[in-house]
Amino acid sequence: MFGYILKKIRYLSLKNKYMLQNTQPGENNSEPISPVLEINLEAIKSILHESSDVTIHEFNFGHERKNRGALIFINSITDKEEIHKNILQPLMYDVLLLKNAVGMDFNDIDTIRKNLISMTDNKKVAMLNDLLDSLLAGAAILLINGSKEALAIKSVKIKSRSIEEPGTEAVVRGPREGFVENVNENIALIRRKIKDTDLCVEKYVIGEKSKTDVCIVYLKSVANPKVIEEIRIRLKRIKTEAILESGYIEQFIEDCPYSVFPTVSNSEKPDKVAAKILEGRVAILVDGTPFVLVVPMVFIESFQSVEDYYARPFFASVIRIIRFLSYIISTLGPAIYVALTVFHQELIPTQLLISIAEGREKVPFPAILEAFLMLFAFDLLREAGVRLPKPVGQTVGIVGALVLGEASVQAGLISPIMVIVVSATAIASFAVPAQTDSGTVLRYIYLVLAGIAGGFGVIMGLLATLLHLASLRSFGTPYLWPIVPLDTAGLKDVFIRMPLWTLSKRPKAITWDSYDSYNQSPDLMPSPYNKDNNDPK
């Protein structure tokens, strides 16, 4: 009770503090631009604290060089050459070529914009803080003496990484391209896959200081308008200083922050994201990261790979079942081993039991501690392997996995079967990349349960997990769809992947209810052309 009140009070005080901070900078800068050039320049200089990379170039132009102007830009993020060629040159020299220039008023920003500036991405700004926002986003600002407006001309210097194959989602068959850090490049990658008028891009700027571009991309006619509205609301709610990666957005908009299961999926592959957008999902692209978020997410999505759809259905189905099994192994493997060896020895076939007992003969630890040590060692190796410099990483991996594993068995610290169990678990955990995180957490939880209560504990843990999963929702879509709630039409693409020509409907739980959900004609079953069969009557 008191804790609750204290929490409430602290919340209110923090809220007030934050509101104050929030309003101050806005009030300071939201002045209109003055018609006197010098006042503006002074104001801008003082606001930017005379940073060394801000270039302020004053110049005279017009026929008689009567008009005065200034060009302000941050030279580290703008393309200087373009500014010279397309802004300064027309203003200072090309203007002399205009025949009827006598009648023009060069103090008017519109005249300049229409007649002299040969860059498309420009806009008029009238307020000082809008001017500063554009300046910081990479625009060159043109101020004219005597004009109450300034012109913000976007000339960002883009140094984008070239498009490469993503490291996290390598494929055997399928496109090799992956998203890059630049959001515009990423939208281009999606647009190249979906050349449709329905593809909408909405841009938001989030982060008080980082001012990160966040774009949501969806197919207007397919995506559920409720989901889009929900995303808009959740994005607008974010009041934070900086968005450095899409993981920030994910954690601010997810449905169940206290769950180990992710309810927002991410991908680096344009073909995967395009496929999801075509199903009616919404992609959230964040500037500065190649990881694109997609909502809503369902659990089985983690077990589907783009390659399933590129390969023929039989192989794809087998691989998919193996993926489900591998997730079960990766979460339950050590727990079942501990439960069997500690509590239910009678369930192990006698021959196997003898070899397990022989292996465990010299081991001084109880099975659960043994499992913990091995899992810890494995997670340590994995983490170290990721962080270490590449040439060293391999060496450490070999030393850790082979030498340590072999030596600890030889020394009698760990039983050989435990090494097999943990390595099988380790391999299996990488077969389902989207659920590797949740699998790692669950593995420890089940292990503890198995150590305390054997099979009973594991069953209770599984039941609780099932109920938790069934209660999760991702932007309105039940997380375990189509298994819970049961949707027989959706089951065509869960444990096995039916041939593509049978998957003629979009997932019902994701798209709009009233939308006609066919994405291809339902009679696409391939059949060789035969005159007798295909007789047009």
169: helix, strand or coil: coil
Neighbouring C-beta atoms of residue 209, cutoff 10 Å = 11
**Distance (Å, rounded) from C-alpha 94 to C-alpha 92?**
6
Q: Which of residues 319-378 bind other proteins (CB under 8 A)?
A: 343-344, 346-347, 349
Binds other proteins (CB under 8 A): choice among 247, 455, 476, 499: 455
Tokens 């002299």 identify what position? 116
| Least distance in angstroms from the C-beta of 480 to other proteins | 8
Binding mask 184-223 toward other proteins (x if CB under 8 A, else -) reads ----------------------------------------
| Least distance in angstroms from the C-beta of 362 to other proteins | 25
**Distance (Å, rounded) from C-alpha 305 to C-alpha 284?**
20
Q: Counting contacts by CB under 8 A, is residue 296 touching other proteins? A: no
Nearer to other proteins, 343 or 446 (CB): 343
Nearer to other proteins, 280 or 482 (CB): 482
Nearer to other proteins, 468 or 505 (CB): 468
Cis peptide before 296 (omega within 30 of 0): yes
Q: Which of residues 419-438 bind other proteins (CB under 8 A)?
A: none
Q: Which of residues 476-495 bind other proteins (CB under 8 A)?
A: 478, 483-486
**Distance (Å, rounded) from C-alpha 202 to C-alpha 289?**
18
**Distance (Å, rounded) from C-alpha 223 to C-alpha 279?**
8
| Least distance in angstroms from the C-beta of 467 to other proteins | 5
| Least distance in angstroms from the C-beta of 172 to other proteins | 34
Nearer to other proteins, 152 or 480 (CB): 480
Binds other proteins (CB under 8 A): choice among 453, 496, 498, 500: 453
Neighbouring C-beta atoms of residue 1, cutoff 10 Å = 5
| Least distance in angstroms from the C-beta of 444 to other proteins | 18
Q: Counting contacts by CB under 8 A, is residue 471 touching other proteins? A: yes
Nearer to other proteins, 35 or 454 (CB): 454
Nearer to other proteins, 62 or 457 (CB): 457
Q: Among the residues of 72-224, which ranges form H helices?
A: 80-83, 89-92, 109-115, 128-136, 183-193
Tokens 């802004």 identify what position? 87
**Distance (Å, rounded) from C-alpha 296 to C-alpha 231?**
10
Nearer to other proteins, 334 or 482 (CB): 482
Contact between 134 and 141 (Cβ < 8 Å)? yes
Q: What is the DSSP string of 456-482?
A: HHHHHHHHHHHHHHHH-EETTEETTTT
Distances (CA, A) of 150 to 32, 78, 124, 144: 10, 18, 6, 7
Nearer to other proteins, 407 or 464 (CB): 464
Q: Which stretch binds other proteins (CB under 8 A): 18-26, 356-364, 377-385, 463-471?
A: 463-471
Q: Counting contacts by CB under 8 A, is residue 457 touching other proteins? A: yes
**Distance (Å, rounded) from C-alpha 89 to C-alpha 82?**
10
| Least distance in angstroms from the C-beta of 347 to other proteins | 5
| Least distance in angstroms from the C-beta of 259 to other proteins | 13
Contact between 250 and 259 (Cβ < 8 Å)? no
Nearer to other proteins, 456 or 501 (CB): 456
Q: Counting contacts by CB under 8 A, is residue 448 touching other proteins? A: no
Q: Counting contacts by CB under 8 A, is residue 466 touching other proteins? A: yes
| Least distance in angstroms from the C-beta of 47 to other proteins | 53
Query: How many residues interact with other proteins (rule CB under 8 A)?
Result: 24
Contact between 212 and 286 (Cβ < 8 Å)? yes
| Least distance in angstroms from the C-beta of 354 to other proteins | 16
Nearest to 436 by CA among 373, 482, 386: 386
Distances (CA, A) of 530 to 208, 405, 524, 533, 534: 66, 63, 15, 5, 6
Nearer to other proteins, 233 or 467 (CB): 467
| Least distance in angstroms from the C-beta of 460 to other proteins | 5
Nearer to other proteins, 141 or 472 (CB): 472
Q: Which stretch binds other proteins (CB under 8 A): 191-199, 210-218, 288-296, 451-459?
A: 451-459
Nearer to other proteins, 218 or 479 (CB): 479
Nearer to other proteins, 191 or 468 (CB): 468
Nearer to other proteins, 124 or 468 (CB): 468
Binds other proteins (CB under 8 A): choice among 463, 489, 520, 524: 463
For residue 179, give both structure tokens. Answer: 């998203």
- Could you report how far apart the first and last alpha carbons of the chain are, in Å? 80
| Least distance in angstroms from the C-beta of 494 to other proteins | 13
Residue type, position 249, single letter:
I
Distances (CA, A) of 532 to 403, 526, 536: 69, 16, 9
| Least distance in angstroms from the C-beta of 456 to other proteins | 6
| Least distance in angstroms from the C-beta of 482 to other proteins | 12
Nearest to 183 by CA among 201, 165, 198: 201
**Distance (Å, rounded) from C-alpha 124 to C-alpha 498?**
55
Distances (CA, A) of 460 to 322, 430, 449: 25, 26, 9
Q: What are the residues facing 61 on neighbouring strands?
A: 67
- What is the number of residues in the chain? 537
Residues of this chain that interact with other proteins (CB under 8 A) are 343-344, 346-347, 349, 453-457, 459-460, 463-464, 466-468, 470-471, 478, 483-486
